[in-house]
Amino acid sequence: MARRTTYSVLAGAAVLLLCAAAAAQTLYTTSIRTFASGGQDKVVGNLYTVNLGDATAKLVAPILLRGATAVGITGLAVHPATGVFYGITSPLSPANPRSLVTLDVNTGAAELVGPIGAAGSDIAFDPRGNLFVWLPGTSQLGAVDLTTGQVRTLGPPGPPGNSGGIAIDGEGMAYVTPNGAVGNLDRVDTSTGVLTKGPALTGAPFAAGIAAMTFTPSGLLLALNTNGGSPASVRLVTINTKTGQVNTIGSLPDDSDSLAFTSLGAHDIRSALATMSGRTLALLSLVLGLALAIGAMLIVKSLRRD
């Protein structure tokens, strides 16, 4: 009986740890919608969280620059060390187009960093905190200055391509889709900008394009597959990095145009602890202490009976 109780305690603890880990990981997407109003084109940008299991999206907030001006974000990435979200604004944004911004994913508030000087389609951080952008107008990789937003192009320019996605895995390997869903999943050297042809993409619901990509903490490559319409239908898909096979998870809000996956890091834990009151911390310590003490007693009893 003691052994079963011990196993139940350990299983319960494992479930709690798994739930905490799942809650600490969040997938975000943004949408850009352009419409005519009063003889002018207006842009509405929204921020969503996404359920990775079925692509169900939940609206967080509209994206507002300086708390007042609506902007559309076409690329989103989170700094691996600081946890700060960065985005690039759409060329269609009436205010600060083609610019680098930071984004508060709790409120949708954006702050301007500076113009990037070119139209980018997606952004990604490498493990060392360097930010890169894909430039479809010249089919080039660009390195982004986080303090000014300015972009330094890497490698020779090429012909204009589709609005491609970029994602960098935990080993620093960068992947791009310069020719959309009918092209290849290519690799790009982040030092030189040189592209290496990868496997052909197969199985995408729409042939038009891959609007954005990101890796999950476990190494799964996620992407947005769009039909390029107005409004654009969008599917959340996975891409096999070895074969190029595309599999559909589900439908996202129309005009979704970026992806970023974040997990709770040590800096987030420290920040959360720093905001707790002394009473809350004391209660948390007491609960954890009691749980550990009870678990230890049950394990000792089980070992003695065995």
Going by pLDDT thresholds of 50, 70 and 90, the confidence category of residue 149 is very high
Is the pLDDT at 158 greater than 60? The verdict is yes
100 shares a domain with 9:
no
Q: Which structural domain, as residue segments, surrounds residue 291?
A: 2-17+270-305
Are the beta carbons of 193 and 155 closer than 8 angstroms? yes
Instruction: Show contacts of 220-228: CB within 8 Å, 24+ apart.
Output: 221/167, 221/169, 221/175, 222/27, 222/52, 222/249, 222/259, 222/261, 223/165, 223/167, 223/177, 223/259, 224/29, 224/165, 224/252, 224/256, 224/257, 224/258, 224/259, 225/181, 226/256, 226/257
- Please check whether residues 42 and 83 belong to one and the same domain: yes
Instruction: Choose the most confident range, by mean pLDDT, from 9-18, 258-267, 286-295.
Output: 258-267
CA dihedral 130, 131, 133, 139 (to 10 degrees): 0
CB–CB of 126/174 below 8 Å?
yes
My answer on whether 203 and 292 are in the same domain is: no
Q: Are residues 208 and 289 in the same domain?
A: no
Average pLDDT over residues 144-150: 97
> Please, what is the end-to-end C-alpha distance for the chain in angstroms?
11
In the DSSP assignment, the letter for residue 94 is S
* Averaged pLDDT of the chain: 83
Q: How far is the C-alpha of 121 from the C-alpha of 135, rounded, in Å?
A: 6
**In the structure encoding, which two tokens stand for residue 14, read together?**
């494992």
Q: Are both 110 and 167 inside the same structural domain?
A: yes
Nearest to 183 by CA among 107, 239, 105, 250: 239
pTM: 0.79
My answer on whether 148 and 291 are in the same domain is no
Span 83-98, mean pLDDT? 88
Q: Are residues 155 and 245 in the same domain?
A: yes
122-125 and 85-89 strand pairing: unpaired
**Residue 161: which CATH number?**
2.120.10.30
Instruction: Kindly report which listed range (14-18, 36-40, 110-114, 286-290) carries the lowest average pLDDT score.
Output: 14-18
Residue-level length of the chain: 306
Report, as an integer, the average pLDDT of 197-222.
Answer: 95
Same domain? 211 vs 101? yes
Q: Are residues 69 and 89 in the same domain?
A: yes
Q: Is the domain of 86 the same as that of 228?
A: yes
154 and 205: one domain? yes
The answer to whether residues 10 and 34 belong to one domain is no
Instruction: Say how far apart CA 39 and CA 44 lie, in whole Å.
Output: 16
Q: Is the confidence at residue 290, as pLDDT, over 70?
A: no
Number of domains into which the chain is organized: 2
